[in-house]
Chains A and B, each alone.
Chain A
Amino acid sequence: MAAGFVDFEITWRKDIFSGAPQESSAADFDTYGITFRSRKPHNEDEWELALAEITCEVPQFGEFLDL
């Protein structure tokens, strides 16, 4: 979103490093191949709408503090 795209979707994920000829520390960090797609908005209106649809719920004060 930050770069100005909408409809972001990861569609595939696979371990692509196993069995490679040379050992890599990539495996230590659970590294996977992925594919993703996204789209440049049609216009500013679509972009503004996409931004507005991003929601972030803020907890009430004390909700996690057992007050």
Chain B
Amino acid sequence: MTDSFQNKTGFRLQELRDAIRAEYQTVASEPDREFHFHTGRTQARIVGYSDDLLDHIPPAALESFAGTGNPFNLGPIEAGERVIDIGCGAGTDSLIAAGKVGPDGQVIGVDMTERMLEKARRARAEAGFDQVEFRYGYGEDLPVPDGWADVIISNGVLNLMPDKSAALQEMNRALKPDGRLQIADIIVEKEVPTSAKRQTDLWTG
């Protein structure tokens, strides 16, 4: 994949992952800095989260929210279910999911950005949810067993993954039969020329 990816984009896979990680380390540590996307409660409201939902999230997690939609509007998540949150960031969606699955369910948030995971773990402790844990990993290589999840959520992350086909196949592996995908992401409606595909900021945002 690495060679074909570099041929298509001009980036080495690791180079692109490092750039994405650097961008989101900044969203974690300096969430009030100016980005080319909105962040925090402002962004959560834009994409359809109610204040009722957000008021239960520790502020340190919510301030680094950078999702592109609301996966919880796509269908219910039931008590006792198992959920994976791919690219969980500082943990806002994982904590919302933890509230929905309750103490008999489980949520695993996965992210490749250490500072986001540190914030997520602190937010989990603050929220007091034992049913959620945060693991380091990539969407293309999820640290979960086959057929583990009832639901996979992800918010603004699939577009950041260099190998989308591998990411979707990995989601398929991690889901139970009849398991659901509830994904928020972005689409472009105009063709992106090769020159633009070589702009790092278009990959990292």
**A residues in contact (CB < 8 Å) with B:** 2-5, 11-14, 16-17, 19-26, 28-43
In whole Å, how far is A16's beta carbon from the nearest beta carbon of chain B?
6
User: In the complex, are the beta carbons of A29 and B190 less than 8 A apart?
Assistant: yes
**Smallest Cβ-Cβ distance to B159: which chain A residue:** A31
User: In the complex, are the beta carbons of B178 and A42 less than 8 A apart?
Assistant: yes
Residues of chain B in range 158-205 having any CB-CB distance to chain A below 8 Å: 165, 168-169, 171-172, 175-192, 196, 199, 201-202, 205
**B residues in contact (CB < 8 Å) with A:** 34-38, 43, 46-48, 68-71, 73-75, 156, 165, 168-169, 171-172, 175-192, 196, 199, 201-202, 205
User: In the complex, are the beta carbons of B171 and A3 less than 8 A apart?
Assistant: yes
User: In the complex, are the beta carbons of B34 and A21 less than 8 A apart?
Assistant: yes
Residues of B contacting A4 in the complex (Cβ-Cβ under 8 angstroms) = 168-169, 172
In whole Å, how far is B183's beta carbon from the nearest beta carbon of chain A?
5
Whole-angstrom CA separation of A41 from B192 in the bound complex? 33
Residues of A contacting B48 in the complex (Cβ-Cβ under 8 angstroms) = 12
Residues of B contacting A30 in the complex (Cβ-Cβ under 8 angstroms) = 188-190
Among A17, A21, A22, A40, contact of B176 (Cβ-Cβ < 8 Å): A40
Residues of A contacting B190 in the complex (Cβ-Cβ under 8 angstroms) = 28-30
User: In the complex, are the beta carbons of A23 and B36 less than 8 A apart?
Assistant: yes
In whole Å, how far is A18's beta carbon from the nearest beta carbon of chain B?
9
